[in-house]
């Protein structure tokens, strides 16, 4: 069943009530528990309301609020209930008269099921030119040493950890909420120093200050409990630990011809946020992270490739049947050669624009420079 499109460049309101106010782009925080959907959870402080440039914000009636068990915050006058939605989660929040927002509750009953279904729709392996380039960038940016402890959050089939372990005898642990993804990882990764754990990213089962580096590739935009996730990442990192993270770029920053592709990706993948680089850095700074290095990626050639292949249903079916041919026939080898040749071409061309803020995505390296408000200093 096709999900209703729930991403747009403006708010969508219902009824005669006015549209919500637009202010500086600061993301609302969600602090609900994955295991307790629809449980009202109040944030500790009211925050300015972001103008979600990639989300549709729906105005809800008082009847809906009553049916959902949501009551207005005490001591406020004329709050209005809104909701932002994706295929994986719905976040309910109140907008106050002074343009403040209070995250109220999260319904994410379909979260695990959605990502397990996405795993089944993807290729059987992540071994392709785009992932190889990502691994090279992680190796270049992270000054890993033998015996470094590395955590990959949202590891999928474990490809990143496997390639890092090929280069250095690191101690790698991958976590993912999708059980079928971890099955692929355990089948594909043979290194004895790499292991996998089934858990969600906001309840990491590791002691404080366990890891030297954390990799979060294509994860932060999916998790409703953004603040809680960042808090967990800071908790499990050691002093001056490094975080390699990716994030979709704000639609207001992305080149205008590429915004339609961004919305298509958001719709299919269940993205919940698209901060600008400045917002991204500010969000992580609240948890003690300082930006060390970044680049933009995903420009015109990438958007064209995604439109023609990755997010084209017909091309995906043909590609899976030919390139993914388990018999390794001559046709399969030839098709894979030309497919990977095309990927190398668009990666090479788009790589020339990495300084431009108009890219569809952001890659960034952060260092944990403070913990609980106490400065740690810097290592890099």
**Residues 6 or more apart in contact with residue 134 via CB below 8 angstroms:** 160, 217
322's CB contacts (< 8 A; 6+ apart) are 331, 332, 335
Domains within the chain, CATH numbers bracketed = 1-109 (no CATH), 113-375 (3.40.50.150)
Output the pTM of the full model: 0.77
Q: Are 339 and 323 in contact (CB under 8 A)?
A: yes
d(CA 348, CA 297): 11
Mean pLDDT on 100-122: 72
Of 81, 101, 77, 97, residue with least CA distance to 13:
81
Of 33-37, 143-147, 178-182, 203-207, the range with the lowest mean pLDDT is 33-37
The span from the CA of 161 to the CA of 135, in Å, is: 9
Residue 238 has pLDDT above 80, yes or no: yes
- Go through 101-131 and write b for each residue having 16 or more CB atoms within 10 A of its CB, e for each that does not: bbbbbbbbebbeebbeebbeeeeeebebbbb
- Cα–Cα dist 275/273, whole Å: 6
More confidently predicted of 239 and 58: 239
pLDDT at residue 23, as a whole number = 39
350 pLDDT above the threshold of 90: yes
Tokens standing for residue 98: 């002074």
Given pLDDT bands bounded at 50, 70 and 90, which one contains residue 55? very low
Helix (H, G, I), strand (E, B) or coil at 342: helix
Per-residue pLDDT, averaged over 111-117, amounts to 86
Mean pLDDT of 107-122: 81
Q: For 247-262, what is each residue's pLDDT tens digit?
A: 999 999 999 999 999 9
Question: What are 268-322's pLDDT values in tens digits?
Answer: 998 888 999 999 999 999 999 999 999 999 999 999 999 999 999 888 888 777 7
């Amino acid at each position: 069943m096709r999900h209703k499109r729930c991403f747009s460049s403006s708010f969508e309101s219902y009824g005669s009530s006015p549209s919500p106010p637009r202010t500086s782009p600061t993301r609302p925080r969600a602090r609900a528990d994955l295991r307790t959907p629809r449980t009202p959870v109040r944030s500790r402080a009211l925050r300015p309301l972001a103008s979600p440039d990639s989300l549709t914000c729906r105005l809800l009636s008082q009847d809906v609020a009553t049916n959902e068990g949501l009551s207005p915050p005490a001591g406020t006058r004329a709050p209005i209930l809104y909701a932002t939605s994706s295929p994986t989660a719905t976040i309910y929040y109140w907008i106050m008269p002074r343009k403040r927002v209070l995250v109220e509750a999260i319904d994410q009953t379909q979260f695990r099921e959605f990502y397990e279904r996405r795993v089944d729709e993807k290729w059987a392996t992540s071994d392709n030119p785009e992932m190889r380039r990502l691994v090279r960038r992680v190796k270049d940016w992270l000054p890993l040493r033998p015996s470094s402890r590395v955590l990959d959050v949202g590891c999928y089939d474990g490809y990143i950890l496997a390639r890092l372990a090929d280069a250095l005898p690191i101690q790698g642990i991958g976590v993912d909420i999708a059980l079928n993804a971890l099955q692929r990882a355990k089948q594909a990764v043979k290194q004895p120093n790499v292991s996998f754990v089934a858990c969600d990213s906001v309840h990491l089962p590791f002691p404080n200050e366990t890891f030297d580096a954390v990799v979060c590739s294509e994860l932060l935009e999916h998790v409703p409990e953004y603040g809680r996730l960042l808090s967990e990442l800071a908790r499990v990192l050691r002093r001056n630990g490094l975080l390699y993270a990716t994030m979709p770029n704000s639609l207001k920053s992305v080149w205008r011809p590429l915004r339609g592709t961004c919305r298509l990706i958001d719709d299919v993948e269940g993205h919940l946020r698209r901060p600008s680089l400045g917002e991204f850095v500010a969000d992580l700074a609240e948890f003690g992270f300082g930006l060390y290095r970044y680049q933009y990626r995903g420009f015109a050639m990438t958007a064209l490739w995604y439109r023609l292949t990755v997010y084209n249903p017909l091309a995906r079916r043909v590609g899976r049947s030919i390139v993914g041919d388990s018999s390794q026939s001559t046709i399969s080898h030839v098709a894979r050669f030309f497919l990977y040749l095309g990927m190398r071409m668009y990666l090479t061309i788009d790589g020339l624009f990495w300084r431009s803020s108009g890219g569809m995505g952001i890659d960034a390296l952060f260092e944990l420079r403070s913990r609980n408000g106490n400065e740690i200093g810097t290592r890099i």
